[in-house]
């Protein structure tokens, strides 16, 4: 019988004996960077040797590439697109642990925020991607038709057998709102397999942070705290994500449409929101940064107090030039 061992585990076994004698030695700081998922992924961590550091970094990047191959809706043959192709066929589809897990997480936040985050928004996302690329405003009828093929309640879960069913024809899944945060968390799991506990993974602005650097209280992270001010916080054992239309938006006749879509209207947010969330992990922070952008200040406070008391939020919302700031939500 052949037993398949994941790459990062096999590399760990190969290098373990070489590095184990140096684990208690003075650690060094290492930085590795690679373009993945359309963004730079930067690994900053402390390890006891060059060989251990390189093996760990290669394994993290390998794991993230595996996730991208499976979960990216940009790839025709990806697992998530194959699942979307079964929509409306009344088929239960066996899926990988990663795909089931990320959709289950998405569903949890969809329920809690009453649809402010929705992984079924793919048909609408496709319309806006084309519109941004070609710089035109989508037709209302096209948006309405696409919205008819969305709805997180149309994603069914068979937890016992880890299967998914998409009940309506034409549905298309898009987990872009939490994919990088999820990848950062999975990369941190690989780091721990190598015995590396002091690490920060920056997945295109979505941060997974573990133990502090040696001799430090935490990692110094610069975050926007409203009205273009930047503050520095010292963090460990958390995830951080920032969401906003600073670089990705569509401007038509003086009106700015954010790349963040309101799942209820199918239209890019017409008010300017910049949100930073510190949460127990990068996946949750990534989802909540998007969801809070959609909910705005009033509803965001309501959901935070009910479900997310262990999060810290900076949110700036402007409408017609008037800025409202919601600085923090504390436990």
| Cβ neighbour number for residue 78 with a 10 Å cutoff | 17
Q: Which two tokens stand for residue 21?
A: 């004698």
Q: Which two tokens stand for residue 10?
A: 């096999």
Helix axes 50-71, 179-193, angle to 10 degrees: 150
Cα separation, 181 vs 208, whole angstroms:
7
86 annotated as a binding-site residue:
no
Cα separation, 220 vs 222, whole angstroms:
7
Give which of 283, 277, 313 is closest to 201, Cα–Cα: 283
219, 235 contact by CB (below 8 A): yes
CA angle 72, 99, 242 (to 5 degrees): 60
* Residues β-bridged to residue 44: 31, 200
Q: Which two tokens stand for residue 77?
A: 């043959």
286 annotated as a binding-site residue:
yes
End-to-end CA distance of the chain: 52
226, 318 contact by CB (below 8 A): no
The per-residue DSSP string of 268-307 comes to B-SSEEEEEEEESSHHHHHHHHHHHHHHHHHHHHHHHHHH
177 annotated as a binding-site residue:
yes
For residue 261, the 8-state DSSP code is: B
Q: How many residues are listed for the chain in this entry?
A: 331
93, 163 contact by CB (below 8 A): yes
DSSP reduced 3-state for 195: coil
CB neighbour list of residue 110: distance below 8 Å, 6 or more residues apart: 116, 117, 118, 119, 152
| Widest distance between CA atoms in the chain | 67
Q: Which residues are documented as binding site?
A: 177, 286, 290
Q: Which residues are documented as binding site for Mg(2+)?
A: 177, 286, 290
């Amino acid at each position: 019988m052949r037993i398949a061992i994941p790459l990062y585990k096999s590399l760990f076994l190969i290098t373990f004996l070489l590095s184990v004698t140096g684990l208690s030695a003075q650690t060094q700081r290492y930085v590795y960077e690679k373009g993945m998922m359309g963004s730079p992924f930067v690994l900053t961590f402390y390890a006891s040797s060059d060989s251990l550091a390189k093996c760990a970094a290669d394994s993290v990047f390998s794991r993230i590439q595996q996730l991208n191959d499976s979960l990216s809706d940009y790839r025709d043959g990806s697992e998530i697109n194959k699942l979307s192709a079964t929509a409306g066929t009344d088929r239960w589809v066996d899926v990988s642990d990663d795909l089931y897990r990320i959709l289950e997480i998405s569903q949890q936040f969809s329920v809690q925020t009453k649809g402010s985050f929705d992984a079924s928004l793919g048909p609408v996302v496709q319309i806006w991607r084309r519109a941004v690329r070609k710089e035109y405003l989508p037709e209302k009828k096209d948006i309405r038709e696409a919205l008819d093929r969305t709805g997180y309640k149309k994603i069914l879960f068979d937890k016992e057998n880890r299967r998914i069913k998409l009940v309506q024809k034409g549905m298309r899944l898009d987990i872009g709102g939490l994919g990088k945060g999820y990848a950062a968390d999975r990369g941190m799991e690989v780091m721990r397999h190598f015995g590396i506990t002091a690490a920060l993974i920056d997945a295109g602005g979505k941060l997974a942070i573990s133990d502090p650097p040696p001799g430090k209280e935490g990692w110094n992270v610069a975050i926007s705290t409203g009205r273009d001010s930047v503050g520095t916080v010292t963090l460990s054992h958390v995830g951080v994500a920032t969401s906003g239309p600073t670089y990705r938006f569509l401007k038509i006749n003086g009106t700015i449409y954010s790349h963040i879509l309101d799942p209820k209207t199918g239209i890019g947010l017409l008010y300017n929101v910049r949100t930073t969330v510190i949460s127990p992990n990068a996946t949750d922070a990534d989802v909540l940064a998007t969801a809070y952008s959609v909910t705005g200040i009033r509803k965001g406070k309501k959901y935070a107090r009910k479900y997310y008391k262990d999060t810290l939020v900076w949110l700036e919302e402007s409408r017609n030039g008037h800025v409202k700031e919601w600085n923090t939500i504390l436990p």
